Structure 1
Amino acid sequence: MTRVLVSGGTGYAGRFIVEHLLERGYKVTVGGRTAPEPCFFSKDVAFVPLLLDPEADQIEAFDNVYYFVHAAFEHLPGRYRGGEGDDPDGFRRANLDGTVRLFESARDAGVRRCVFLSSRAAYGPQAAGALLEEGMLARPDTLYGEIKLQAERSLLSLCGHDFVTASLRATGIYGPAGPGRTHKWASLFEDYLSGRIVPPRIGTEVHGEDVAKAVRLMLEVDTVRINGGTFNVSDILTGNREILSILQRVTHCPHPLPEQADASGYNPMGCCKIQSLGWRPGGRYLLRRTVEQLAG
């Protein structure tokens, strides 16, 4: 049974990754500041303390680990862009320097593959309406995006025949949260059902289960097809109107829906590269099913 260490495994995205790998027979160890609560996952997982600290020697955390999935990120609760608050230096030290130290420790410990959960924010502003593709020039305009891009490049510099690496630029991850936690649209649902005005909004979204499938693909596909690569992980362009229209149908809420947001200048993400490896997201069927589930 192959052992995988998932940093940030109790986080919103990390939980999907852990659950998916458990279902597929992987032996999962969760790394983080605190151990998961009992029954947080559907099956038992091992735990090792793991910090985003560039000064910490944590190579022992990688003992007997074959794969490392790095999904941990230190930020203000509920915020990624702007998650540095009033401490940008600490934010950079943890999320860039601490991340690179973990990459180096994984390589030095003999880990065979490393997958980094990056972000759409690495692209930064692009021409209005342009399709975001992995080969285009990235120019992040936020500290969050800059750190994600620099971490990608640091991981790329470490890749080799014995240390296969890949970065996944995910965005808008949605789906049910773990036990005792609220999903990302909880406040949106509450505002709409309470009759508050909901502004128009659009964005690229992908279900957490589809992100987890992309991670597993990076662990299983032939190394020559992914090593050192960056892959977009996105599914649909949607917004508050479509999401709430599903909620409206399920709840029979009489409140009006928000206006349709203008999508003409938005930058969708191209996913041909990862789809060529066999990745298929759930599309609008999965969005509808998930909103119906969350509405219940």
Structure 2
Amino acid sequence: MIALTGATGLLGRFLLDGLPSQIMTLGRRPLAGYAHRLWDLSGAAPELGGITTLIHAAFSHVPGRYRGGEGDDPDGFLSANLDGTRRLFDVAAKAGVQRVIFLSSRAVFDGSATGVPLTEETPPNPASLYGRVKAQAEAHLAALPLIGQSLRATGVYGPGPGHKWQALFADYLSGKPIPPRRGTEVHGADLAQACRLLLNDNGTGPFHLSDLLLDRHDLLTEVQRLTACPHAPPPPSDRPVDPLICTRLPVLGWQPGGMDLLRADLPAMLP
């Protein structure tokens, strides 16, 4: 059986839709139709008997923020997200869980100089507390006697309540000024596809998960096309962004949806 943390979060809905059946959720709130065990990052680790794969997507943070998600409580942020994750991984190893898939982040490289190729062999160099938590949790997992797979994902987008561009689209359509920006993105369905592939692979360590290098100018040009919004999109960003170099997942057959998938789902993300 697969156990999933973070099932009620922004990533959880994509994982529940894209993973095989026989999923047990671990968290504070049960979901209709799924077996559930009560658990919280800040508390004791859950009972994991009978679990063969653990997918850890839960993260405690200020709403809407990952970098800077500690708010004014860095100690609590560390206690929940680092100590709580370590407890969870340790109990998984003791319970005989065969595989742990950990949702990490490209934030493990935030301190790297521009122009450094971000391969799966590049040593982490976090600059934020968020990135530090992810890097240290990765290292803890790698030392345990099980198949530990860390998915270093870029920004995850896709339709659903509270999706990542909800406020951006509302601001643009209302005529508020939008600062230029570009970043790396991947669809939540492509995240779920990656997890499915890892269920049948015994490779360990980090796997990079990224699809688009997306400029707000291009994204909001698509929104303007769909809505006939009279406001001009922001100019293209001149900020350099180093993409994650994804080598290991494509070898397993991973094929992200690219701009076609973004355009197909964009209408469902508009207010």
Flag the 1:260–1:57 CA change in 2: closer, same or farther, 3 A: closer
Give distance in 2, aligned partners of 1:129 and 1:290.
32
Superposition deviation, residue 63 in structure 1: 2.2
Q: Is the 8 A contact 1:245 1:257 kept in 2?
A: yes
Which amino acid in the other structure matches residue 194 of structure 1?
S
Partner residue of 1:66 out of 37, 52, 55: 52
Superposition deviation, residue 30 in structure 1: 1.0
Partner residue of 1:28 out of 23, 32, 35: 23
Partner residue of 1:165 out of 110, 124, 148: 148
Alignment match, 1:269: 244
Alignment match, 1:255: 231
Q: Matched residue pairs, number? A: 271
Which amino acid in the other structure matches residue 80 of structure 2?
A
Percentage identity across aligned positions? 46
Alignment match, 1:113: 99
Give distance in 1, aligned partners of 2:82 and 2:125.
17
SS, match of residue 280 in structure 1: coil
Superposition deviation, residue 17 in structure 1: 0.8
Give distance in 2, aligned partners of 1:57 and 1:18.
22
127-136 or 96-105, which moves further after superposition?
A: 127-136
Q: Is the 8 A contact 2:10 2:162 kept in 1?
A: no
Which amino acid in the other structure matches residue 35 of structure 2?
A
Alignment match, 2:263: 288
Give distance in 1, aligned partners of 2:103 and 2:45.
22
Superposition deviation, residue 292 in structure 1: 2.5
Which amino acid in the other structure matches residue 9 of structure 2?
G
Flag the 1:48–1:202 CA change in 2: closer, same or farther, 3 A: same
Give distance in 2, aligned partners of 1:131 and 1:284.
23
- 2:197 pairs with 1:217: yes
Q: Is the 8 A contact 1:129 1:268 kept in 2?
A: no
What CA deviation, in whole Å up to 9, does each residue of 1:10-51 have, x standing for no partner? Answer: 110122111111xx4x21111111223x5xxxxx21111111
Within a 5 Å distance, the mapping from 1:49-128 to structure 2 comes to 49-53=38-42, 56-58=44-46, 60=47, 62-128=48-114
Flag the 1:79–1:57 CA change in 2: closer, same or farther, 3 A: closer
What CA deviation, in whole Å up to 9, does each residue of 1:110-162 have, x standing for no partner? Answer: 1111100000101122232333112112211111100100000000000x3xx
Give distance in 1, aligned partners of 2:68 and 2:113.
23
Superposition deviation, residue 72 in structure 1: 0.6
- Across the aligned residues of Structure 1 and Structure 2, the Cα RMSD in angstroms comes to 1.4
Give distance in 2, aligned partners of 1:129 and 1:288.
29
TM-score (norm 2): 0.95
SS, match of residue 121 in structure 2: coil
Q: Is the 8 A contact 1:20 1:213 kept in 2?
A: yes
Alignment match, 1:41: none
Give distance in 1, aligned partners of 2:198 and 2:153.
14
Q: Is the 8 A contact 2:25 2:37 kept in 1?
A: yes
Alignment match, 1:142: 128
Which amino acid in the other structure matches residue 110 of structure 2?
G
Superposition deviation, residue 57 in structure 1: 4.8
Which amino acid in the other structure matches residue 32 of structure 1?
G
Which amino acid in the other structure matches residue 44 of structure 2?
A
Q: Is the 8 A contact 2:55 2:102 kept in 1?
A: yes
Alignment match, 1:45: 34
What CA deviation, in whole Å up to 9, does each residue of 1:233-289 have, x standing for no partner? Answer: 0001002111111111111112111101115x2111101222112111111111111
Give distance in 2, aligned partners of 1:274 and 1:85.
34
Q: Is the 8 A contact 2:120 2:247 kept in 1?
A: no
Flag the 1:171–1:57 CA change in 2: closer, same or farther, 3 A: closer
Give distance in 2, aligned partners of 1:144 and 1:257.
30
Q: Is the 8 A contact 1:152 1:167 kept in 2?
A: yes
Flag the 1:57–1:250 CA change in 2: closer, same or farther, 3 A: closer
What CA deviation, in whole Å up to 9, does each residue of 1:85-106 have, x standing for no partner? Answer: 1211111111111101101111
- 2:173 pairs with 1:193: yes
